[in-house]
């Protein structure tokens, strides 16, 4: 992974600071540009793409923590075939080769999660497991980064990991949240994290 760009405001204490971090990062902007070029409806890059960058900055890490995947989400109830997602991953790999692209249409992901159908990408994000992961980015019409955070950015910026309200109130999702915490072991990478096991 490439090093992160320097940021003049090291406090990173607001959504404005998050957007400044992203705008100054050529690698993140290239990924966002590639996704925008696909022209997908309600398309964003979510999860660790932003979460990891913020946590790296708040830990004073000079190098980018490697990502397991780059989670591209979109919402298209008209095309639910997973083969379409695989084709989009190949297109992204043509544009930016060697990156761990993962593309998922959120219009069908409720089936995997045992939820009622989602109504949008923002609705899907609000049903993800932990609050600091329920964030996403895309390019706005002016070519700058735009943030989607249906549950806010307080936990992300505060280095707090806790279950989303949906995960906390649904037993099967809370079990999945706890299993995910165990498998990810984020405090080993980012020791300042405060983890709520729910």
Residue 150 placed within a domain: yes
> Phi/psi at 165 (nearest 5 deg)?
-55, -40
Task: State whether residue 180 is helix, strand or coil.
Answer: helix
Question: How far is Cα 45 from Cα 145, in angstroms, rounded to an integer?
Answer: 11
Residue 138 placed within a domain: yes
The pTM of the full predicted model, rounded to 2 decimals, is: 0.92
Work out the number of other CB atoms within 10 angstroms of the CB of residue 103.
24
Residue 75 placed within a domain: yes
Task: State whether residue 138 is helix, strand or coil.
Answer: strand
CA angle in degrees (0–180, nearest 5) for 186-192-198: 60
What pLDDT score does 4 carry?
56
Question: How far is Cα 55 from Cα 190, in angstroms, rounded to an integer?
Answer: 7
Identify the CA nearest to 57 among candidates 27, 114, 18, 83: 18
Q: How confident is the model at residue 58 (pLDDT cuts 50, 70, 90)?
A: very high
Which structural domain, as residue segments, surrounds residue 39?
15-158
| 67, 100 contact by CB (below 8 A) | yes
| 52, 70 contact by CB (below 8 A) | no
Task: State whether residue 179 is helix, strand or coil.
Answer: helix
The residue with tokens 């080993």 is 188
Work out the number of other CB atoms within 10 angstroms of the CB of residue 197.
11
Q: How confident is the model at residue 20 (pLDDT cuts 50, 70, 90)?
A: very high
Residue 48 placed within a domain: yes
Q: What is the pLDDT of residues 90-143, one digit of tens each?
A: 999 999 999 999 999 999 999 888 899 999 999 999 999 999 999 999 999 999
Residue 190 placed within a domain: no
Residue 4 placed within a domain: no
Residue 7 placed within a domain: no
Question: How far is Cα 135 from Cα 146, in angstroms, rounded to an integer?
Answer: 11
pLDDT > 90 in the chain, percent: 88
What pLDDT score does 5 carry?
53
Rg of the chain over all Cα atoms, to the nearest angstrom: 16
**Which CATH number does the domain housing residue 150 bear?**
3.30.460
What pLDDT score does 9 carry?
44
Residue 119 placed within a domain: yes
The domain tally of the chain equals 1
Q: Comparing 152 with 1, which gets the higher pLDDT?
A: 152
């Amino acid at each position: 992974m490439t090093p992160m760009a320097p940021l003049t405001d090291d406090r990173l204490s607001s959504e404005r600071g998050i957007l400044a971090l992203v705008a100054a990062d050529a690698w993140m902007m290239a990924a966002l540009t590639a996704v925008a070029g696909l022209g997908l409806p309600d398309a964003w890059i979510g999860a660790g793409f932003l979460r990891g960058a913020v946590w790296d900055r708040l830990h004073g890490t000079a190098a980018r923590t490697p990502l397991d995947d780059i989670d591209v989400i979109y919402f298209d109830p008209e095309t639910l075939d997973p083969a379409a997602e695989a084709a989009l991953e190949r297109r992204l790999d043509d544009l930016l080769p060697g990156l761990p692209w993962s593309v998922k249409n959120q219009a069908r992901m409720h089936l995997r999660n045992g939820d009622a159908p989602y109504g949008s990408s923002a609705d899907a994000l609000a049903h993800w497991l932990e609050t600091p992961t329920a964030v996403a980015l895309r390019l706005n019409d002016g070519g700058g980064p735009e943030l989607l955070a249906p549950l806010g950015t307080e936990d992300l910026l505060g280095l707090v990991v806790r279950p989303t309200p949906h995960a906390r109130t649904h037993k099967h999702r809370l079990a999945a949240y706890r299993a995910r915490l165990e498998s990810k072991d984020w405090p080993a990478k980012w020791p300042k994290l405060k983890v709520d096991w729910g």
